[in-house]
Amino acid sequence: MAIATQTEPTTLAPPTGLDEQVEEGRRQIRADGYAMSLGELASLYDERELEIQPRFQRFFRWTIDQKTRLVESILLGIPLPQVFVSQRDDGVWEVVDGLQRLSTLFEFMGKLRKEGPTLAEPLQLTEAKYLPALDGVRWTDLSHPLRIDFRRAKVNVSILNRGSDHRAKYDLFERLNSGGARLSEQEVRNCILVMENEDFHDWLQELSAADSFRRCVAVSERLEKEGFHTELACRVLCLSTVDTRDLTQDIGPFVTERMVELAGAADRPRLESAFRDTFAILDDDCLREQAFRRYSPERNDFLGAFLISPFEVVACGLAHHLLRGARRSDYSATDVLRAVKGLWSGNGFLAQSRTGMSAKQRLRTTIPQGRTLFAR
């Protein structure tokens, strides 16, 4: 029996819109790559031709056991995952992904620099699964042949070359670090903001530590550690200033892109004034964390834990109008309390708050609703 085979068409199909987009995307991202030894990378780091952002260390939380396993893998000849770097205009490579691996290796070799000019204390390993004799070992304890083997170990380095789109390294960093257990979405965003504008990042952290804001937003210890307060502060800054017609993508990428824009050209005094005034209004005995919990008209009480939907309506709605000339004195705590309770009396808001609705769908209702609710 004859078997039918699929053949390629004899004529080539004309380029499509997708072909053109792929070609344009490739022009924006110019990449190169090759294998390098750890010794070569260490030399580049010594000469300050390879830069590791020291402040990123606070966002990565490797334990001594994880660091030991990495060194063990190298000594056993296990291949390392590739490292991504971005080439600056001055030729220096900035590490985009692979920071914890490289910093661990440089720490073990006694080369890792702190934020100042001094070197970090050389890493002392612990017992490992296949090499229990690593317990207590430092770089100087390795034999000469083992040090040579270690320095000669190879890692593939992918380089975003000069000429790549300015945002390519941020997008690459986000794609490589999102969706896993390594960093939360906000921790990824913090790293991106440090890359874009370190001073803006520090300002944002100070803003999210405001006492009135913290009193109004009560979250779990786990979310606190993952930077959820900063995430919420970002949402206020982004969603109070956005044109609602631009709410067309998922909340995570939208907030990241918007925060990078603000880092480059934000009127910080104006944003800070609106943010602090918003939570000064809400920081009242009759409101505080109750403003962001579910209200039961039947029980005349606020129930449960923090909810993002009322936060988007109330905090972002108030901030929107304060940014546009409204005064703090225009909103009394009792008036805001009455408005918050009224939210839960209609079916519209309840429908937008139900479990399973995507953030993109929800925001199309909550953001305009907050602006209408607090219009003066």
For residue 102, the 8-state DSSP code is H
What 3-state class would DSSP assign to 317?
A: helix
Residue ranges of domains in the chain: 28-181, 186-373
What pLDDT band is residue 1 in, cutting at 50, 70 and 90?
Answer: very low
Q: Shortest CA distance to 260 belongs to which of 191, 187, 320?
A: 191
The per-residue pLDDT of the chain, averaged, comes to 84
Compute the Cα dihedral for 315, 321, 322, 323 and give only its sign.
Answer: positive
- C-alpha angle 47-152-87 in degrees, rounded to nearest 5: 40
DSSP state of 345: T
Mean pLDDT throughout 255-284?
A: 93
In angstroms, how far is CA 216 from the centroid of its own chain?
A: 23
User: Where does the pLDDT of residue 74 fall: very low under 50, low under 70, confident under 90, or very high at 90 and above?
Assistant: very high
The per-residue pLDDT for range 106-127, each reduced to its tens digit, is 999 999 987 667 888 999 999 9
| Residue type present at position 119 | L
Strand, coil or helix: 91: coil
pLDDT score of 170 more than 80: no
Give the Cα separation of 277 and 212 in Å (integer): 9
**Which residue from 153, 132, 131, 158 is spatially nearest to 79, judged by alpha carbons?**
153
Residue 161, pLDDT score: 66
> Look-up: residue for tokens 């004529």?
11
Label residue 22 by pLDDT band (50, 70, 90). low
Note the pLDDT of residue 91. Answer: 87
Backbone angles phi, psi at 110, to 5 degrees: 80, 25
- Using alpha carbons, select from 245, 187, 262, 227 the residue that is nearest to residue 364: 245
pLDDT in tens, 122-155: 999 999 999 999 999 999 999 999 999 999 999 9
**Using CA atoms, how far apart are residues 333 and 339, in angstroms rounded to an integer?**
10
The pLDDT-based confidence of 6 (bands split at 50, 70, 90) is low
Query: Please, is 333 exposed, middle or buried when counting C-beta atoms within 10 Å of its C-beta (0-12, 13-18, 19+)?
Result: middle
Say yes or no to pLDDT of 25 above 60: no
**Whether pLDDT at 27 is above 60:** no
pLDDT interval class at 159 (50, 70, 90): confident
